[in-house]
Each structure stands twice: as C-alpha cells, then as structure tokens.
Chains A and B, each alone.
Chain A
C-alpha cells in the first residue's frame, strides 16, 4: 500500500515555478530517497507534505485519502533548517513540542524517559539547550522528531551538521524505526550518503521529477556491464582477454593487477574460464553505477 502519493503537484512563487507536475509514490515501510541538487524543489515538496505550504495544483494522498490537518500527528519532520529554543530547558521543550503534535503531557513524559535512558542522557532534563554541545542538541532534536511515533518520518538533509558519531547513531535508529514499521523519506543532495540504505528513490532536477523507482531496478537499468577483476601481476594480459571485451582501466596495486572490463552480455563465464586457465582470479565483482552517475546520465538523456 502506498503511504503517500503526490499527484502532479505544482507550485509557483510569482513567475518562478518551483515544482512542475511532480508525482511520486511511496510504499509503506520503505526508505525513500528524494534526491536532487540544491534548489531543485525537494524542500518545497516536503513542506507540502507537512502542510506548511499547499500546492497550487495537484493533490497529495496519505494512505489513499486526501492529506488533511489531522495527519500531521502521523508525520515526523526533521527540517534542514532546524534548531531548538536556546533558553528553554531540555525536558520542558521536548514536552512542549510533543504536546503540539497532540501527545498528552503524561504520555510525552513517559516516552521521553524511555528515549533519554536509551541515549543515556537522563541527567540533561533540566539543562538549557545553550548549555549543551551541538552534538547533544542534535540528539534531543532527533528524539523530538520521532517521539510521537509517526507512521511517516521525513528527514531533510539529515546528516548535514551531524558529527560522524551522531550521524551513525541516527542511521541505526532510523533503521530500527523502519523495523518497527515506520516509512522514511530522506531528502538530500548528497546522493552517496543515502543510496545504500534507500529502497526507492526519486530524482528531482529543476522542479521536475526525472526518475523514480526501486534502487535495485534503476541500477540494473543503468548498469553498463562493467566488472572489476583482480589477478596477480603479469606483463602481458592480452592472451587472457577474449574477443569483444574491452579493458577500460588497469591499475597495479601491491603486486596485483586490478582491471576494469566491459563484458558483453552473457559472456562472463567464457571470459572467467579463459583467465582461470592461465592464472588465478583474486576477486571479481560487478560495478554498478552510482546514483551520482545515474543522475548525470539521466540529465544528459533528457536534454
């Protein structure tokens, strides 16, 4: 079932079109990457899902129904521009933000105690945010985003500004939440940072969606039959290579030869057995295109 669908949503500010008929659909329980360069329109789309702005045209469906005000309690949002009241105490602040999401004070406190214990930060309750380090404040920010146990979690540039330790913690917690059934949207311009954990992605460029789908399928579609083979170093490699294969790169590394080959469809076994007759194969793997490359490729194809 699709937890969220946008149907041809458009938004303009004056004469500038920020989103142009963007349709995406996100399945329940998946991790969805909303990818594209800065200024492509990702944040505008996310703000629409959070009902901070409304689309000029098109509609947004949440569990198959038109998105409405009450749905915000089922959505958790960590904006790119984020922060907390500096002078407010940690506990009070977390309760306040939870109350605004519709949680009762008592329930909020109970859940906060769980999370504070889990992150081993129980003694921060009465500290002010300004007394905490940036990394500490990030943990609080994360807790306040997920405290109301939303069905849909949206993270806009989640790893920017987080130190590596917290970024890792965040990643693990997000994967945990997915295990528990939450659906997650990652929005980022830094495609490498999320491609290995996303199930599906949508690429947005210049206010238009240019590509959407399952990550595996997309990579399959864009792969160029490139393989990396490592063999012990030898002077003449020509006898190893069968006809039709092309060496696109070769590196000598600590007595080993690392070759990048493009192999025509269905001739892998032939090549490998030809090599094995003459020498050892130390490693062999398929090279799949990175999201960055796919993005560049797609833009080239669209033009």
Chain B
C-alpha cells in the first residue's frame, strides 16, 4: 500500500508540473469562453455597408394613381443602403463605374410568382447574407402590398398578421413546474461530452504512459520492486486525480470569469420579478404574454435552478469516475501491448467504438430521453457514462439509475481483472507481434 502511494505521488507530480498541464488549465476555460462569446462579438462587428440601386419596373396604373410596388419600400439596414433609379441601363453603367455595389432590377412576368428580381453586381460578389436579406425584403414587400391593396388592411393589421413567433411553454402536469427542456438538453450534453472528452484524453494518456515504460525498458526494473497491478493502478489513480485537479481548477477559473462578468454586467444574472401565466386560464391577453417575456440569459439562470443540481453533480462525479476506471484499465492493458516496433491500433479501435457511438447518439438521446435506445445506451456500461448524463437532467427512474450503476461496477470489476492479466504479461513481452488469440491465451494463464 505504501508503494502504491509512492507511485501515485510520482505520477501525479510529474503530470501537474508539466507545462502542458498549466497550458490546458488556463487555455481550457478561455477557449470555452471564446466559443460562447465569439458569435456575440462577431455579430457586433460593423461590416461595410452595401449600396444597392433599385430599379423598379413594376409600374401599375390603378384608378387614380400610378403605383410602383417596391419604390421606397426597402428598409435600410446596417448592411445595406437602398437607392432608387428609373432607368436600368443608366443604373448598370453607374454600377460599372463602381459608385454602387449592386443593381437590383424588379420586373413583372407572367410566371408565378408574377414578380422577379435580378441582381447585377460589380467586381466583387454580393455576400450571401445580403442576398438573403434582399430576398426576404422583396417577399415581405410583395406580401404586405397584397394585404394592403387587395385586402385593404391597415398598418396595424398587417403588423399583427406578420407577428412571426408564438411563444411555447412546457409544464409538467404533476409538479406544475416549467420544464426548461432546452437548458436540460444543453446541460446534459455538456456533462456527457465532458465525460467523453476526459475519458478519451486521460485514457490515451494512460495508454501512452504504460507503453512508454515498456519502451523505456524501465518496467521490468519497476516490477521487481512492486506488483504489476500496483504499478497500473498507481498510474490510473494518479491520472484520475490529475483530471479531477484539472476540472476543479477549471471550475475555479470559470467561477472567477462569471464573478467578473456579474460585476461587469449584473443585469444578465438577476431574476426578474414577473407574472407567470396561469395555464388554467384559457384566454390569455397579449399584455399578459408580453409581461412574461424575459431576457434569454435570465431564463437560463431560472432553468438552472429548476434542475436537481446536487443529483446532477453527484451523478456526474460517479459516472466520471466509473467511466474513467472502466476505460482507463482497458487503455492501460492496450498500452502494455505496444512496443517499439508494434502499435496497438488494432486493439484501441474496439474499445473506442462504444464511446464514439455514445457521442454520435447524443442528439437522439437529448431529443427523446425516454426512448428505448436512450434506455439501452444508458444501461450498457460502455456507453452509460455519456448516455446517462444526457438523460439525468430530464429525470430518470431510480431503478434505472441503480441498474446502470450496478452493471457499471460489475463491468469495472471485470475489466480490471482482464486488464491486470493482460498488463502483467504484456509489459514483459518484447519484440513479439501480439494477436487476439495470443491475448486469449494470456487470459487463461495461471497467476
């Protein structure tokens, strides 16, 4: 027992004192923040404004007026400024001179829809987002004109018809709580992905560390002092501690960033006092709906409060450790098969497939956490750590959790047994190509 401590100490200290550990610790949260905030920053960057010249050819003569459907109807935006011109040929020569970025010609046709737009542009292509905006505006203007001219609607009525989104609420019929499905999905996916990420990252580290010791030929010296299993588990425990240290440091840093953001922009984090809609009330007025609308971020904070955080954290730690032990011991065993001239790739594939499968199934899992595929993936130990974490925010029956945990522990015992057998033979097997049938023989060796 004392020797395993010495091994853990060395393995732990060499890893946390590496530069790469420090870099990962600092860079991890920064990268994560960047991932979250970059879209926000990008959307605030001012782009060059495009000058578009509109030539409207849709003149129609009504009873008392001549009407152009599109003239002066486009809304100027940050991206595009619209000008209007009568003559298409002159407009095109202005475009060739380069004083405008594009010419939009709108003509009537006998097709459906009866209006078509043609875009001419100069030397540089018009950005896709600008094209999309122009297309949307064209459609809207046509639609609004139809509503105004053919149906005689006024401005207010048109605005009402165009009101594009209807808010959607979900409520549990028993608890009466709002269910915040989006946030649960997000949280479950992050937890599942973190487990996947760390199992892979540190599993690979264990594999490399074991094969390094074999290739250095230091391993036989070591096992003349300690039992092979002490060596393997000293390493696995140390690397688990390293990963927990890393996560703890990340949490501290992220907490620091959040605290900083809280002082810089407190409005994101305050839960606003608001009216809630009573579901029993059948008729809900527009004012009531408006009153319940809250900023996105505040909804996120409320959603977080709605989830059973202690259960989530507890389960995360459990599945993290269990998943880690399951895969770490197997990765360790594979590491012992790798030598200077043999790689272990044919053995890594079978154990990485279940993990990758779990990650591929993430969207299916979060889309329907109670489906039978979700059930089986969260019961089978090789995918359970990832799959169960996705399901837990949505609530999982206790017996399912117990079944999954129990199987997990059983499989870990099995994988440790197999890994120890392979490891103790593998580390001392030099210069021999190892096949599956060879491994099968090793498993049947007496100790």
Contact = CB atoms under 8 A, between A and B. Distances in A.
Given A13-B441, A54-B447, A81 B6 contact: no
A88 B224 contact: no
Interface in A182-196: none
B430 interface: yes
A293 B221 CA distance: 33
A231 interface: no
A25 to B, nearest CB: 22
A72 B225 CA distance: 6
A99 B447 CA distance: 26
A83 interface: yes
B220 A100 contact: no
A99 B9 CA distance: 12
B135 interface: no
Contact of A85 (B3, B216, B428): B216
A104 B218 CA distance: 21
Point out which of B224, B228, B444, B445 has the most chain A C-beta atoms below 10 A from its C-beta.
Answer: B224
Contact of B224 (A52, A54, A56): A52
Given A51-B224, A75-B224, A145-B221, 18 more contacts: A14-B441, A50-B224, A52-B220, A72-B225, A79-B220, A81-B430, A82-B221, A83-B216, A83-B218, A83-B221, A84-B216, A96-B6, A97-B222, A97-B225, A100-B6, A100-B222, A101-B225, A144-B221
8 contacts: A13-B445, A14-B445, A72-B225, A82-B220, A83-B218, A84-B218, A86-B216, A97-B221
Contact of A83 (B14, B217, B444, B445): B217
Interface string A277-294: 000000000000000000
Main secondary structure of the interface of B (DSSP, over half): helix
Interface string A45-64: 00100111010100000000
A284 B217 CA distance: 49
A50 B224 CA distance: 6
B19 interface: no
A82 B224 contact: no
Point out which of A47, A51, A56, A85 has the most chain B C-beta atoms below 10 A from its C-beta.
Answer: A85
Nearest to A144: B221
A159 interface: no
Contacts of A295: none
Contacts, number: 63
B32 to A, nearest CB: 30
Contact of A88 (B14, B220, B221, B441): B14
B446 interface: yes
A97 B7 CA distance: 10
A101 B447 CA distance: 23
B16 to A, nearest CB: 15
Interface residues of A, number: 27
Contacts of B228: 52
Interface string A85-106: 1101000000011011100000
A19 to B, nearest CB: 14
A81 B221 CA distance: 9
A39 B185 CA distance: 60
B221 A79 contact: yes
B10 A96 contact: yes
Interface string B421-442: 0000000101000000000010
A32 interface: no
B226 interface: yes
B241 interface: no
Interface of A: 13-14, 47, 50-52, 54, 56, 72, 75, 77, 79, 81-86, 88, 96-97, 99-101, 141, 144-145
B216 A52 contact: no
Contacts of A81: 217, 220, 428, 430
B306 interface: no
A147 to B, nearest CB: 12
B6 A99 contact: yes
Contacts of A75: 224
Nearest to A86: B216
B401 interface: no
A188 to B, nearest CB: 17
B441 A100 contact: no
A85 B214 CA distance: 10
B204 to A, nearest CB: 18
Point out which of A52, A77, A97 has the most chain B C-beta atoms below 10 A from its C-beta.
Answer: A52
Nearest to B444: A14
Contacts of B14: 88
A47 B446 contact: no
A47 B428 CA distance: 10
Nearest to A55: B446
Contacts of B445: 13-14
A84 B219 CA distance: 9
B221 A77 contact: yes
A141 B10 CA distance: 19
A79 B224 contact: yes
A85 B215 CA distance: 10
Contacts of B447: 54
